[in-house]
Structure 1
Amino acid sequence: MSTTATVTRESVDVAGTTRTFTTVGAAAAPRPLLLVFHGSRQTGDVHRAFTGGMFDALAESGDAVVAYLDGHRGNWNDARRGSYFPARRDGIDDVAFARAVVDTLAGQNRIDPGRVFAAGYSNGGQMVIRLVHEAPGLLAGAAVIAATMPAPDNFLAADPDPTPLPVVLIHGTKDPIVSYEGGGFSWWKRKLFKVGGDSWSAPRTAEYFAERNGITADPVISRLAGVAGDPTEVERAEYGVDGRPPVVLYTVHRGGHTVPGPGNAPRVVGRTSHRINTAEVLGDFFGLRG
């Protein structure tokens, strides 16, 4: 993996603990910031390679700065009551970590603190869901990939005064880790990933965020063009109404627990769709591409 943008390893202090992240892009003037949250048992740099470095393109074009954050021992302290991995057991404040990264980069005049977006995959997607609910004013938009909304009895975050946000969700119908249809985890998933509790389906998750934005109309459904040799199909459901931030769900038919784009995840987690490039989707949806 190579990039023409500046790549920097950085750190911040959060409650006496050193947290690390990798930034891509050296803006000459404040740019939008995309925070990227990796999946379980990854790091920011591992996830960067896992996705084929596709988010780097947003920095290479000069349109944004991309920050790949490192979780605590490979995980994020998300808002699922049933989580029991190290970040939860150790009481890690990942909301404060995200704020510290934003404050640090804004203090260096590299990013516009009013245009901060977050994208998370799997456990990272759950962390983005937590930020949406517990960090009002931090994000201007959110992307949740291969993760769905925890059921109410499995959700710890409070949301007394919802802040409407544009939200994009991407999920494969053949995801073997986080079911597109929702529900709980099998015994081996609970043991391997140290999570439990029920979650909603991907469509119900999209409806939840639409309703949170004040949108009750049915979504507009469309099918994206195919790609030769790619057995996946992508369906786009857009929830929108004038004056309200939109919510879009990309359903990747026959797609796995993966991030659609140029990279190829191990087949054990299912097919990686090449019918969409997630970075380009987010760039267009959040207005990060010039």
Structure 2
Amino acid sequence: MYKILLSITLVFLTELTFSQRWTETMHVEVDGLERNYELFVPENYSEGNDYPVVFVLHGGGGKAGRMPRFTKYRFNELAERDGFIAVYPNGYKKGWNDGDRDTLAVARRLNIDDVGFFDVLIDDLDAKLSIDRDRVFACGISNGGFMVQRLALERSEVFKAIAIVAANMSEDQQQIVPENPVSVLFICGTADPLVPYNGGPVTVLKQKRGEVVSVDKSLNFWKQQNGCFELAEESELPDTNTSDDCKVHKTVWKNPDDPNIRVVNLRVENGGHTWPGARQYLPETLIGNVNQDIDGCDVIWEFFKSVSL
């Protein structure tokens, strides 16, 4: 028993040490408010290189400091391995102003300028580090997934690509036309009990949190904006974990004039309001299944790399 407890302790300490070794809380001021973000810089960082930036946004009720552990520190590992800067921004009062979906969240009710927050944040990164402003990416889950779409809509000249986990598009977002194409990856579960795959009201603890359109309609919006009408791939991914009661169907559309512009859908059959490969952060009865056939972090980073060639 002592050996088992010692092994568990060592694993925990190793994980904790790795996650915190190069992570630092940074502060910026936006509209008189002090905002902050968690910064992970790879150990072999060199001023002589320009590094891609990957923003990782938490969901409603979450915090930036919890996202590395939530994703099993995988983005930090990938940043160390492949050389990019991982940034975990903090929403205002644990939420993001992703648009006019509802006014229940504090950030939306107070109309917090979260788009402006990212403007300041990127400039702050650029002043402190050697970043590649042509390779700026963002991903997020739930409220964070809605927010990265707002960023792509309003700052399409800034973000090369985005990835959305457990979020569709809100109806108000579909009224905005981005000025430039932005490659998009959706990872959504067909059995999501909070954000319905086929559209309808977002429901959290029996409370309606605004309307969303279906994932298919969301995909069609981005396909239209990006000129991605050519079906490039459709396949069932290997069901490597049969105990998770989920399978993943992949569809890729590309722009025939620029194949690096893509829209990708990873439809998680029977998947819940969850991040594939991550922790079961709440019981299945509340959020549904976590798919373990893929790792969301790996899939997202591979997608970002593929569209930045």
Could you state the TM-score of these two structures normalised by the residue count of structure 1? 0.90
1:82 to partner: Cα distance: 2.5
Which of 87, 106, 122 is matched with 1:67 structurally? 87
Distance in 1 of aligned mates of 2:195 and 2:109: 22
The residue type paired with residue 89 of structure 2 is L
**Structure with bigger gyration radius:** 2
1:181 to partner: Cα distance: 0.9
Aligned twin of 2:4 = none
Q: Is residue 2:255 matched to residue 1:241?
A: yes
Aligned twin of 1:284 = 302
Answer yes or no: is the 8 Å Cα contact 1:77–1:87 preserved in 2.
yes
Answer yes or no: is the 8 Å Cα contact 2:142–2:167 preserved in 1.
yes
Which of 274, 292, 295 is matched with 1:258 structurally? 274
Answer yes or no: is the 8 Å Cα contact 1:54–1:262 preserved in 2.
no
1:45 to partner: Cα distance: 1.3
Per-residue CA shift, 1:93-122, capped at 9, x if unaligned?
Answer: 100111111111111233212210000110
By percentage of residues, which structure has more strand? 2
Distance in 1 of aligned mates of 2:94 and 2:280: 21
1:172 to partner: Cα distance: 0.5
Per-residue CA shift, 1:186-236, capped at 9, x if unaligned?
Answer: 584436xxx21x211112211211111012345632000111333210000
Q: Any gaps of 5 or more consecutive residues in structure 2?
A: 1-14
Aligned twin of 2:29 = 13
Aligned length: 283
The residue type paired with residue 52 of structure 2 is P
Identity %: 30
Q: Any gaps of 5 or more consecutive residues in structure 1?
A: none
RMSD: 2.2
Answer yes or no: is the 8 Å Cα contact 2:70–2:278 preserved in 1.
no
Which of 76, 93, 105 is matched with 1:56 structurally? 76
Answer yes or no: is the 8 Å Cα contact 1:50–1:264 preserved in 2.
no
Matched residue SS, 1:60: helix
By percentage of residues, which structure has more helix? 2
Answer yes or no: is the 8 Å Cα contact 1:265–1:272 preserved in 2.
no
Aligned twin of 1:110 = 130
Answer yes or no: is the 8 Å Cα contact 2:276–2:293 preserved in 1.
yes
Matched residue SS, 2:196: coil
Distance in 2 of aligned mates of 1:279 and 1:57: 10
Could you state the TM-score of these two structures normalised by the residue count of structure 2? 0.85
Aligned twin of 1:214 = 227
Decide whether aligned partners of structure 1 residues 156 and 141 sit closer, same or farther in structure 2, where only a CA change above 3 A counts. closer
Q: Which has the higher contact order (CA 8 A, sep 6+)?
A: 1
Distance in 1 of aligned mates of 2:36 and 2:175: 25
Per-residue CA shift, 1:7-54, capped at 9, x if unaligned?
Answer: 111111112111011011243232100011110000111232222222
Aligned twin of 1:224 = 237
| Greater Cα shift, 80-89 or 41-50 | 80-89
Which of 4, 27, 38 is matched with 2:58 structurally? 38
1:282 to partner: Cα distance: 1.5
